[in-house]
Chain A
């Protein structure tokens, strides 16, 4: 299939397509920088690659064209993914894709921030993850990893001129025929939502301009939890990165573990044993349930329904007991391993999971009963924080937030990893893309996850959980203590890390709140050359200011909860 795509591209663009590479079933297309928008536009309109998933920067200091910028496009109905690469030298600008994809805004800002690659015609090229006083570019290879920089004065997101402009725009929106001076800049109140606001889960910040309680304009700022996971990854062996993935989406760390392992295994071109796959499916779906429970519960408590919050969190707590028993810890699970798992399930796991799943049923029914026909709940969620299907796609939404708009894209169905094709489950979708749909989609997904877990428990095959490959998996302890080969094997794996052959691979799966992916570049050493996470909530939060504009503060809070922004993953 990718052959056809390559031929079509060559036919359309001829010499502009510099190279193609089909490594690990990921189609990489190298184009000249000036032709980038044309290629992206062609892929978007003609080849159904409607979603700009990510923009990735890579630094090769020894090359003439030092920076490589990779645009990750995907189709939402076909299993088609294309990476469009451009190379630029220091100071050279890449034409911005913001005209084609709204999600390009934040993604390009991130590349600009961390690599210093400028983007031509970008409307708002500012730093995003690092603060505005930061000097240098953190992900360049010559930036020392230990050099942190302190922030003196937080950034003001609105200047007086911005406020005046926002007031003018809001006046025109209210009365298109008027002169645009109905709302005066002095009428607007600037309020900081966050970074330490109780409803700003984690450390998110949005500055909003209020006319009464109506949000006239909003801007979001992120990065309060930025610790540059990607830079850390370059400084650690492939196996050592695993614990760091726990801290990405801290509501579903097991999912991060599993998907990271998938990415590296894709590079290594190994396949884990069936038992491992089944266990990974079970823990992934458990994590997804927990993630959704947290999201729905906190969303409801943001709307004042504290009781429903407890009902969801009680089940979550029960499920955390499983994870605690399985991994020895609740958040820092570190359970998956490249080529398998840290250890097998404990005895009695199945019975415990079944018991806890029964609790889930009860909680879901109870909360849905409390909420579904509650007039207050409906008034607070129906039509609130709505985003249209096209906007959602353009903003790069994935996961429940996208499915709530009616797009049935689920990585588990479209790109079955971990043998998801063998499980019988549905992809629930909503229609309106509003807070209500997002909550209800999550409820429905929990039930689907439960179905998957039950099937996985039924089929759970016997056998090893790790691949039988001494290059990847640590030898058993008796071998380490009993044989010189074992000692050597352990020593090499620990000190040098797993030798991952040079190449690029994008391993991804359906995370708690969307497509979670790890774009790994290996140079044949024991450490990643570049590791880029695609956090599903990054593009979602990028759309947040747009979604809440015109609503009220209470709506903004309810909407944020339903979008499920996890700061750990957003800021990395």
Chain B
């Protein structure tokens, strides 16, 4: 029973006092509920992409020792709304020489591709728009709409730079889809299902139940997937399709107003999507430590809602953490060149990810789940993961301390991180 039917039936019973099974208008109510759910999901994309843009800009400001947007609303939190309104009000320019239908359609295609991915993301124990049993495949497939959209934008703009951007981006997406698909294949092998909820259910709440710490190959697969996902999302250091200093912002160069915003929107939504996929495929998704999914499903009323909210929060925290990581990477590294980008993919990531699939298969055959060897392996991997996190945390802390000293010396004030308290 999915949550939409649940709500629809509830509505019919309570509002119309009819039996959903025999009432003739059941389909209408269901359709309306589906529509509302779709709108809510859409609103989530919008509402998420917006603040992510603000957060990214504030973090970028902090990293680059400047301030970032801090004028609209307290600490600039409403900057994204202002930007959105500004873009709505701007003229929607179509170049005279552009291929008009393609030019106009492209942003929607890109946006649809990104938005479509939200359908199968498991936000919480029962919070998922559609738990398709081919969920992961669907995620990979829907991205192809983005590829076509970007090519369409590149060609439709009738500008050489835009075409460069479009072709670069399509080549990049198609190439990096391979390692990311292989890495996700490792997950599918372990979970034994393509369904996103099934993958989450195959993991557990505690770190040693997560797929990333299942064995060394999964550990590597996570990083491979993450790298490939950054590339698929056109983020630095793989942001060649929109390298403003080289090809003048690439495929979106001729766009203005809302159409331009759609591209940025898709980009920011994409950070969230890739972070979410990493979180549910490798990091245990919404799983609450110590509570089995069946227990959650069995609860009723407010308790049910409470557990849903908690699982939703856990998922959100994990995904948002990864979003932060992506942002940090973006503002740290320079950009690759186009041939280096392809070399990275085809010479390193693809063979490595194939190796990971092999490794996972071998371990699946050799190490039975739940056995002693499995426990030791998981323990060791969690230890390794903890060590990685600890080392980076210590390094960050040290750097931060040094920074704070400098800041105090120069400005006579204390430094805050995260940056919401900066002047």
**Residues of A at under 8 Å CB distance from B?**
189, 191, 197-199, 213, 300-308, 310-311, 314, 359, 362, 370-371, 374, 376-377, 379-380, 552-555, 557
> For residue B63, which residue of chain A has the nearest CB?
A307
Give Cα A376 to B238, complex, Å: 11
Stretch at the interface among B12-20, B181-189, B337-345: B337-345
B64 to A307, Cβ gap below 8 A?
A: yes
> For residue B163, which residue of chain A has the nearest CB?
A189
A553 to B247, Cβ gap below 8 A?
A: yes
Contacts of A553 in B (CB 8 A): 164, 246-247
Contacts of B64 in A (CB 8 A): 306-307, 310-311
Query: Size class of B's contact patch?
Result: 20 to 34
Distance in Å: Cβ of A412 to nearest Cβ of chain B: 31
| B338 touches which of A374, A552, A557 (Cβ 8 Å) | A552
> For residue A384, which residue of chain B has the nearest CB?
B337
A311 to B337, Cβ gap below 8 A?
A: no
Given contacts A304-B237, A553-B246, contact A310 B336 (CB under 8 A): no
Q: Mark B297-338, 1 if CB is under 8 A from A, else 0.
A: 000000000000000000000000000000000011111111
Q: List 6 A-B contacts (CB under 8 A).
A: A302-B246, A304-B239, A306-B60, A308-B334, A554-B240, A557-B246
B245 to A198, Cβ gap below 8 A?
A: yes
Give Cα A343 to B338, complex, Å: 52
Give Cα A308 to B331, complex, Å: 9
Distance in Å: Cβ of B399 to nearest Cβ of chain A: 10
| A380 touches which of B164, B239, B244, B334 (Cβ 8 Å) | B334
Give Cα A379 to B342, complex, Å: 14
Contacts of B240 in A (CB 8 A): 554
Give Cα A555 to B338, complex, Å: 10
The 7 A-B residue pairs with the shortest CB-CB distance in the complex, in nearest-first order: A304-B335, A310-B64, A305-B334, A302-B245, A199-B245, A303-B334, A554-B337
A311 to B340, Cβ gap below 8 A?
A: no
Given contacts A191-B160, A362-B406, contact A376 B334 (CB under 8 A): yes
Contacts of B246 in A (CB 8 A): 199, 302, 553-554, 557
B245 to A379, Cβ gap below 8 A?
A: no
Given contacts A306-B64, A362-B406, contact A370 B332 (CB under 8 A): yes
Give Cα A371 to B333, complex, Å: 9
Contacts of B334 in A (CB 8 A): 300, 303-305, 308, 371, 374, 376-377, 380
Contacts of A370 in B (CB 8 A): 332
Interface residues of B in 62-88 (CB under 8 A from A): 63-66
> For residue B409, which residue of chain A has the nearest CB?
A358
> For residue B239, which residue of chain A has the nearest CB?
A304
Give Cα A552 to B160, complex, Å: 15
Contacts of A310 in B (CB 8 A): 64-66
Give Cα A461 to B244, complex, Å: 49
Contacts of A199 in B (CB 8 A): 245-246
| B145 in contact (CB, < 8 A) | no
Give Cα A303 to B340, complex, Å: 13
A552 to B339, Cβ gap below 8 A?
A: yes
Distance in Å: Cβ of A214 to nearest Cβ of chain B: 9
Distance in Å: Cβ of A75 to nearest Cβ of chain B: 38
| B236 touches which of A304, A371, A377, A557 (Cβ 8 Å) | A304
> For residue B410, which residue of chain A has the nearest CB?
A359
| B333 touches which of A191, A197, A305, A555 (Cβ 8 Å) | A305
| B335 touches which of A191, A213, A303, A362 (Cβ 8 Å) | A303
B248 to A379, Cβ gap below 8 A?
A: no
B65 to A189, Cβ gap below 8 A?
A: no
B338 to A376, Cβ gap below 8 A?
A: no
> For residue A304, which residue of chain B has the nearest CB?
B335
Contacts of A301 in B (CB 8 A): 245
A379 to B331, Cβ gap below 8 A?
A: no
| B29 in contact (CB, < 8 A) | no
B65 to A311, Cβ gap below 8 A?
A: yes
Given contacts A191-B160, A197-B248, contact A376 B333 (CB under 8 A): yes
Distance in Å: Cβ of A305 to nearest Cβ of chain B: 4
Give Cα A311 to B63, complex, Å: 10
> For residue A557, which residue of chain B has the nearest CB?
B246
A198 to B244, Cβ gap below 8 A?
A: yes
Contacts of B410 in A (CB 8 A): 359
Contacts of B160 in A (CB 8 A): 189, 191
Contacts of B239 in A (CB 8 A): 304
Q: Mark B334-367, 1 if CB is under 8 A from A, else 0.
A: 1111111000000000000000000000000000
Give Cα A149 to B65, complex, Å: 46
| B243 in contact (CB, < 8 A) | yes
Q: Mark B25-60, 1 if CB is under 8 A from A, else 0.
A: 000000000000000000000000000000000001
Give Cα A492 to B332, complex, Å: 59
Given contacts A199-B246, A314-B65, contact A307 B340 (CB under 8 A): no
| A552 touches which of B63, B237, B337 (Cβ 8 Å) | B337
Contacts of A213 in B (CB 8 A): 164, 338-339
> For residue A359, which residue of chain B has the nearest CB?
B410
Contacts of A191 in B (CB 8 A): 160-161
| B245 touches which of A311, A359, A362, A557 (Cβ 8 Å) | A557
Give me 5 other A-B pairs in contact (C-beta within 8 A), A198-B248, A380-B340, A554-B246 excluded.
A213-B164, A304-B335, A305-B334, A310-B64, A554-B337
Contacts of A359 in B (CB 8 A): 410
Give Cα A301 to B245, complex, Å: 8
Distance in Å: Cβ of A193 to nearest Cβ of chain B: 9
Give Cα A14 to B185, complex, Å: 85
Distance in Å: Cβ of B374 to nearest Cβ of chain A: 36
| A379 touches which of B66, B161, B336 (Cβ 8 Å) | B336
Contacts of B65 in A (CB 8 A): 310-311, 314
B337 to A379, Cβ gap below 8 A?
A: yes
> For residue A377, which residue of chain B has the nearest CB?
B334
Contacts of A305 in B (CB 8 A): 333-335
Distance in Å: Cβ of B227 to nearest Cβ of chain A: 13
Give Cα A371 to B243, complex, Å: 19
> For residue B331, which residue of chain A has the nearest CB?
A307
